[in-house]
Amino acid sequence: MEQARKESRMAVLEIVTAKSARAGILRNPTRRVRTFDAGLHKLLEDMIFTMREANGAGLAAPQIGLDQRISVIEWPEDPDKPEETLRRYEVINPEIIKAKGAEEGQEGCLSLPGLAADVVRATFVLVKFQNRHGQEVRLKVYDWLARIFQHEIDHLNGVLMTDRAEALYRIVENEQGEVELIPLERVAA
């Protein structure tokens, strides 16, 4: 009952896409958050709700038209038990302190619907950020979670996955209802 009441107060925010009138915000570095209050907490809840409704793993403030260094991420610790191990991260004013390894993986983006990209990312990152109360957090993340953190932090710096792409694909559904990736172009050598 409490969860239903809480969700009824949350808003699904409009996601800015590369083709929208406000797309320019996706290309601008964001400003640091300096106020940690109830307004920020409400924004974080709305961002989580919006990300879930859009079936995303992360969402950054520029993607909802805000010039703030804020992102939210949800990812399961155990892919075999996603419901039981889902972790939520509220990431404010993040910095990548250390990065190691490199691996190519396929990414999507809520601001680039219908596209996928092969992107090389670090397999380990140490991230420093603040939580919703302004307290500093240092977090070591690996593999896909490291990829998601890097993707969302890129958004906060005005960088899109297409800027780092080795290859781009159009996501299409074939006649059998299966998803196919159609190569668009070779982006980098």
**Long-range Cβ contact pairs of 72-81 (< 8 A, separation 24 or more):** 72/44, 72/47, 72/48, 73/145, 73/148, 73/149, 73/152, 74/48, 75/144, 75/145, 75/148
Q: Tell me if residue 123 falls in helix, strand or coil.
A: coil
Q: Which of 2, 95, 152, 185 is catalytic?
A: 152
The Cα 149–Cα 101 span in angstroms is: 15
Q: Answer yes or no: 173 catalytic.
A: no
Question: Which active-site residues does the annotation give?
Answer: 152
